[in-house]
Structure 1
Amino acid sequence: MNKIIFFLIATCFAVLSCTKEKTDYEAEIEVVVPEYDEFKEAVTIHSEGYDIKIEALNGTFYKGYNEIRLKVLDSQTRKETNATDVTLLPIITKANGNKNSCPHRYNLVYRTDGNYFSGYSVFTSESLANEAWELHIRFAINNKTYTTNQRITVQEQTNKNLNTTMFIGKDDEQYVIALVSPQRPKVGENELIAGIYKYTKPTTSPGDYPDPSQFSYTEVNNYILQLDPRMPEPSMGNHSSPNNEDLVQRNDGLYRGVVNYTMTGNWTLNFIMLNQNGKILKGTNVPTDFTPGIEGVKSELYLDILF
């Protein structure tokens, strides 16, 4: 009888602890999980009689995935030009003087529905006092090519639902995974969107700076990102959820799947990344045991989120 009573008391304590943790997380959500849906001007570059206006969500560049909208206007008339061949190249100068880039769309695509050039940049770090990001822009008007560049500020990403990770796969290639959506998940099934990118190692000697061939990333094609979401907090017992779907590539180049969050709080998205031939490039299976009181084991490839 004493053993039964002790077990019931312990069970009640575990349930109350779980409820308390959940309540704390819900209170924290209102503070730490921003959501932006409006594009605003992030920077304007004045160059040779033209204004290059670049917009991003909330008018801010953040570490991680950033959708970018660019317009080239005549500085005097303020009207849109007939610019073509617009390219974007983000470059960071490190403290030691080395220059690197990040996943990005180099050749921007013109969107007739919004009259802007569309692209993205996955900034892999925020700006620091001794490390600076620059955007290098090139475009053509009436068969004349223009080039310009502008230093920008990349802010820390405070929304963990938009986290990124950079790693070396078993093929010795450098990869970046960036969460794109949802910015603010809901309890239940959510479409999970991510970009997967690979650094393209240069095969030629550098040309005139900035030579895009030295800073190239590609969207990987036909990979699979296997998903196992868990709540790793000791009070949550590393439990998972049903009805999750692995991420596969869609026509826009991004990877989409389904993640089912059964409650608010800390979640870990455990991944196993397979290439187009089904070979595991990164990631490990995590134990399926329910382990209340013990922090959950994570895959070697994971992203933490909080909502």
Structure 2
Amino acid sequence: MKSIKFIYVLVPILFLALLTTSCSKDDDDDNPVITSEVEGLVKIQELTNATHTLELFNEEGDFYTGYNSVSIRLKDNATDSYIEDASFSWMPMMQMPTMQHSCPRSAISKASGKNTVFQGYIIYQMTNTDGSGWSLTINYSVDGVDYTATDTIVVRQNDNQNVTSFMGNDDNRYIISLIKPNNPIIGINDLMVGVHKMETMMSFPVVEDYTIALDPRMPGMGNHSSPNNTDLSYNISDQMYHGNLSLTMTGYWVLNLKLMNANDTILKGEDVTEDNTQSSLYLELEF
């Protein structure tokens, strides 16, 4: 009789455990956004206010000098649910000892194929040695109501020069940033570069219809170049500059550049010769 009683008690317990496990799995399946919307991304940090939490993601989990693609999710603090419809703007700010300035950044829009992820880019042209000095303010609107969240952020220094800020011969300040290749290969790489002009300390519009001459060199290997490179031209679809970058071997490369306006006037940079081994306008790449 004891054995029979044990079976009667055990069966409903097992049934309840299976039911609980099944329900838990169904809950996850009903909310694939929880795991899939930011799959492959790492959270950088959160910006919070009394109503919402803004989660910031990228592939590295950190901000670095140069080009940063940033994914954003907006969570309702009361319901713990992610909001699908919102409009955003942002203002990165660098605090200097006697002044402050912003940096190039894009508009923020819904990420392709995502329900709760919004995306944009920020190009940090500088940072302090300890990564301090920057803050980020995000203004946003949900159902016609305006909100804001702000906090300090850490911007780490990239090992190589993937962004450069300079004064052109036309007395305008420009910022050129390396965007691609992310994972260089031996062979022909799609080279993508951003070009922005500083109109004010807060405004950095995209520069259109210029040309960038390219001459990649390996300083550690006799400063040799490579074949089949092409100069960079403006692409209206993504508002970036594209060209072909030929890399014949792994190692440290200097991408010597010359920036020319729509009239082919050189604004910055020089040819590489035996006497002039590097342009004053360049980016660095190592793989």
**1:253-280 deviation line (CA, Å, top 9, x unaligned):** 1211111111222221111111122221
Quick one: which amino acid aligns to residue 53 of structure 1?
Answer: E
Q: Which residue of 1 aligns with 2:283?
A: 303
Q: Which residue of 2 aligns with 1:186?
A: 185
1:41 deviates by 1.1
Q: Which residue of 2 aligns with 1:22?
A: none
Whole-angstrom distance in 2 between the partners of 1:145 and 1:125: 31
Whole-angstrom distance in 1 between the partners of 2:183 and 2:167: 29
Whole-angstrom distance in 1 between the partners of 2:255 and 2:68: 21
Residue-pair matches, total:
247
Q: Which residue of 2 aligns with 1:232?
A: 219
1:283 deviates by 1.0
TM-score by length of 1: 0.75
Matched ranges for 1:115-264 at <5 A: 115=115, 116-128=117-129, 131-158=132-159, 160=160, 163-201=162-200, 214-233=201-220, 236-250=221-235, 251-264=237-250
Higher relative contact order (CA 8 A, sep 6+): 1
Q: 1:70 aligns with which of 64, 72, 75?
A: 72
Whole-angstrom distance in 2 between the partners of 1:114 and 1:301: 38
Whole-angstrom distance in 2 between the partners of 1:242 and 1:78: 55
Whole-angstrom distance in 2 between the partners of 1:270 and 1:258: 14
TM-score by length of 2: 0.80
Q: Does the aligned pair in 2 maintain the 1:71–1:117 contact within 8 Å?
A: yes
Quick one: which amino acid aligns to residue 198 of structure 1?
Answer: K
Q: Does the aligned pair in 1 maintain the 2:195–2:241 contact within 8 Å?
A: yes
Whole-angstrom distance in 1 between the partners of 2:131 and 2:185: 39
RMSD over aligned Cα atoms: 2.0
Quick one: which amino acid aligns to residue 99 of structure 1?
Answer: Q
SS for the counterpart of 1:102 is coil
SS for the counterpart of 1:167 is strand
Whole-angstrom distance in 2 between the partners of 1:130 and 1:177: 21
Unaligned runs of 5+ in 1: 1-36, 202-213, 290-294
SS for the counterpart of 1:217 is coil
**1:3-30 deviation line (CA, Å, top 9, x unaligned):** xxxxxxxxxxxxxxxxxxxxxxxxxxxx
